[in-house]
Amino acid sequence: MGLKALKGAVARTREPEQPLVFPQHSTGWSVVIALAITTIVSYGTTQYLFGVLEVPLATTFAWSRAELSGAYALSLLVAGVLGVPVGYLVDRSGARILTTVGSVLAGCALIGLSQISQLWQFYLYWSGGLGIAMALILYPVTFTVVTSWFVLERAKAFAVLTLVGGLASPIFIPLSGWLIPQIGWRTTLFWYGVLHLAIAVPLHAWLVRRAPDRQDVVNRAAVIASPSEDASTARQALTSVRFWLLTAWPCWEARWSLRTRLPTWSAEAMARSWRPRWLARSVWRVCRDAFSSICSARASCRKRCW
């Protein structure tokens, strides 16, 4: 009896060696695809829109760049302050309602922006409306959702989300730079608001779901995790080339952000001889995101458990 019990214990220990995925595996990937599409809309009509919109607003209302940039900075501050309570609510109740409300708010704020005539109205809709919306629909929330759905394939899920979501800038910066001179900034903002209501709201409401209880999967993953897969110490990390590459990359991203999110010459550039340069930047971002996706997928294959 003792030998049989020992064999049974060994069999139960080896049983989790099959891929550790949820029964709702396809639902998890549906959530990833839905969030990737909404991320394109969310970033493209908020952070990547401001730089293209600044010049037309300054020309129309004679507002200074400091006044306009103040609204943008305040929206980031609002989103950052709300990040903590939003994260708590996502962990407690899921992201479906929050992301849906955020998309509705973003759509209404963009439509409201298309009707502004005073500076305080711009601050109300951009800093208030879009600031709150960004706290509900951008990467901090979507990454949390993906983390709750995946264990072993988490790296692959993150790669898909960031690869598709990274298309926001190469799509919306040239698109906004082309639309604003063609149909005007008011009409552009109106249709961007409709885009949120017609695409982002249904995707968030229908496809974003709360992940099932993953505690049993996490426990099984911990059973098969080898000692070599334990977290590295600080000393080991500081001597790793991979660590320093990952550390240096956000510094480059910060430089890129200043050149893509706050360029006062964006709208004019698209109308003159800058088209090849914008195209080259767009291709560069797509290739960069694709390379990141490949590296993440290879890392996921080498390491069986996060």
Please indicate, yes or no, if residue 259 is contained in any of the structural domains. yes
Quick one: DSSP state of residue 16? G
The predicted model scores a pTM of 0.70
**What per-residue confidence (pLDDT) applies to 60?**
93
Domain membership of residue 282 (yes or no) is yes
The answer as to whether 1 is a domain residue is no
> Is 69 domain-assigned?
yes
Q: What is the pLDDT of residue 240?
A: 77
Query: Distances from the Cα of 71 to the Cαs of 55, 75, 186, 245, in angstroms?
Result: 14, 6, 18, 33
What 8-state DSSP symbol labels residue 141? Answer: H
For residue 134, is it within any domain?
Answer: yes
Residue 73 inside a domain? The answer is yes
94: left (phi over 0), alpha (psi -120 to 50) or beta: left
pLDDT (tens digit per residue) in 65-78? 889 989 999 999 99
Within-domain flag for 197:
yes
Tell me, what's the pLDDT at 117?
Answer: 93
3-state helix, strand, coil split of the chain in percent (to 5) is 80, 0, 20
Contacts of 281 (CB under 8 A, 6+ apart): 170, 260
Identity at 185, one-letter amino acid code = W
Domain range enclosing 181 = 25-212+236-302
Q: Which of 23, 79, 14, 3 is nearest to 220 (CA)?
A: 14
Indicate if the alpha-carbon torsion angle 122, 127, 130, 132 is positive or negative: negative
Rg, Å, the chain Cα set? 22
| pLDDT at residue 246, as a whole number | 65
Q: Is residue 4 part of a domain?
A: no
Using an 8 Å Cβ cutoff, are 270 and 278 in contact?
yes
Q: What's the average pLDDT block by block, 10 residues per block, for the chain (306 residues)?
A: 51 46 64 93 92 91 90 93 91 90 96 95 95 94 89 85 89 92 95 95 90 55 45 68 68 51 47 50 55 50 44
Structurally, the chain folds into a number of domains equal to: 1
3-class SS at 153?
coil
Residue 74 pLDDT: 94
CATH code: domain of residue 255: 1.20.1250.20
